[in-house]
Amino acid sequence: MKAEEEQLVGRSPGQLMWIRFKRDRTGVISASVVIFFFLIGLLAPVVSWLYGKNPYTVYADERPELFDSAGVPVQPNGGISGEFWFGLEPGNGYDVFTKLLYGIRTSLGIAVAVTLATVLTGIILGVTAGYLGGKADYWISRVIDFLLAFPAQLFFIASMPVVVSLFVSPRDETPVYVRVVALILVMWFLGWMSLGRILRGTTLALREREFIEAAKVSGAPPGRIIRKEILPNVVTPILVQSTYMLPNFVTAEAGLSFLGVGIVEPTPDWGQMFSKASTELVMQNDITYMFFPGISMIIFVVAFNLLGDSVRDAFDPKTAR
């Protein structure tokens, strides 16, 4: 009897998607890689505690015997040793391993925050435009068109100092959190439109479906229709789009930090490590330094994009790529 009951429980579209996803080997592997990166970011303090170092210690002062007069690690390959797994940074002599862990933590944290903010904005504006139609739809769509016409990278670079100066006077020292908030704000401002547009289209199509009319006939208020009938049906595009958006935000954030308008020393950051790697001192004396942030970011972005493709395939098995 028990077994019979279990057999009759239907599989939801979400469960079917999960079953399809589990069969996709690329998807499962890239998902584990992505999860691994998020775990590193989350557990960075724990790992560095076990490892016994932190990314702020200036080893050039603490252990001057490891560096030559120019501040370059004496040992080959940037001072990689049993003690400093990924070597030491020329100049200040930060530990590269913990710096990378914390850098991943900062970059992923910012990217996740931007993704959440853009998804929320995209849902609110996109679903509103699609469901209400008419004037609301017209104006929200025009705003989307207007913002899409902005050159994003240029806008980020130009507006970052402006946004930062909104919070603190240029003469004072800028706290780290202000830079983080400014980065999130700037990327959110130009990040939500693509999802908003997709959700508007999907909602527009859903609104004409008969099950929405059925809900109206039974007297459902608009809030309930949006929550119970429309939102569960737009989960697919939201999930697929956010898995594409998140790695983009990671690279965008890294790009800004590389250009010097994002996170600055001594706060560890993925992109800022590239910036460090391209300075004359590091370029000429320690080419291995570039290796660690570079390889890890390539692996992360490729894995996340493959995951995005797999998620899309799992949700939407009929469309060819």
Partner 1 sequence: MTEDLVLPAPRDAVTDAPGEPLLEVEKLVKHFPVKGGFPIRRTVGQVQAVDGIDLTVHVGESFGLVGESGCGKSTTGRLITKLLEPTRGRISYRGKDITRATRRELAPIRSEIQMIFQDPYASLNPRQTVGKIISGPMEINGLQPDGGREKRVRELLEIVGLNPEHYNRFPHEFSGGQRQRIGVARALALEPKLIVADEPVSALDVSIQAQVVNLLQKVQQELGIAFLFIAHDLAVVRHFSQRVAVMYLGKVIEVGDRDSIYTRPRHPYTHALLSAVPEVNITGEEAAQRERIRLAGDVPSPISPPSGCRFRTRCWKAQDKCASEEPPLVQLSGNHTGHLTACHFPEDPTIEARDEDIVLDPALAALEEGAEDD
Sites of contact with partner 1 (CB under 8 A):
5, 8-14, 209-211, 213-221, 224, 228-229, 232-233, 235
Rounded to an integer, what distance in angstroms lies between the CA atom of residue 146 and that of residue 162? 21
Q: Which is nearer to partner 1, 10 or 82 (CB)?
A: 10
CB closer to partner 1, 107 vs 236: 236
Minimal distance in Å, beta carbon 315 to partner 1? 12
Closest approach, Cβ 226 to partner 1, in A, equals: 13
Angle (nearest 5°) at CA 284 between 282 and 285:
65
CB of 220 to partner 1, least distance (A): 5
98, 172 in Cβ contact below 8 A? no
Sequence-distant (≥ 6) Cβ neighbours of residue 113 within 8 angstroms: 184
Nearer to partner 1, 166 or 214 (CB): 214
DSSP annotation of 226 reads I
Minimal distance, residue 5 CB to partner 1, in Å: 8
Amino acid at 209: R
Q: CB-based burial of residue 273 (10 Å sphere; 0-12 exposed, 13-18 middle, 19+ buried)?
A: buried
Whether the Cβ atoms of residue 160 and residue 256 lie closer than 8 Å to each other: yes
Residue 221 CA to residue 68 CA, distance in Å, equals 73
* CB nearer partner 1, residue 12 or residue 26: 12
List the alpha helices (DSSP H) in the chain. Answer: 2-8, 13-23, 25-51, 59-62, 76-79, 96-132, 134-148, 152-167, 176-189, 193-207, 210-217, 222-224, 235-259, 270-277, 280-285, 288-315
Residues 117/185, Cβ–Cβ less than 8 Å: no
Q: Please, what is the minimum distance in Å from the beta carbon of residue 28 to partner 1? A: 25
Q: How far is the CB of 9 from partner 1 (least distance, A)?
A: 4
Residue 200: CB minimum distance to partner 1, A: 19
Residue with Cβ nearer partner 1 (17 or 129): 17
In the bound state with partner 1, the residue whose beta carbon lies nearer, of 168 and 215, is: 215
Could you tell me the smallest distance in angstroms from the CB atom of residue 17 to partner 1?
A: 11
Which residues make Cβ contacts (< 8 Å) with residue 41, sequence separation at least 6?
A: 101, 104, 105, 108, 109
Q: Which is nearer to partner 1, 15 or 153 (CB)?
A: 15
In the complex with partner 1, which residue's Cβ is closer, 160 or 206?
206
Q: Do residues 190 and 121 lie in contact, with contact meaning Cβ atoms separated by under 8 Å?
A: no
Report the C-alpha gap between 233 and 226 in whole angstroms: 10
CA distance 294 to 95: 16
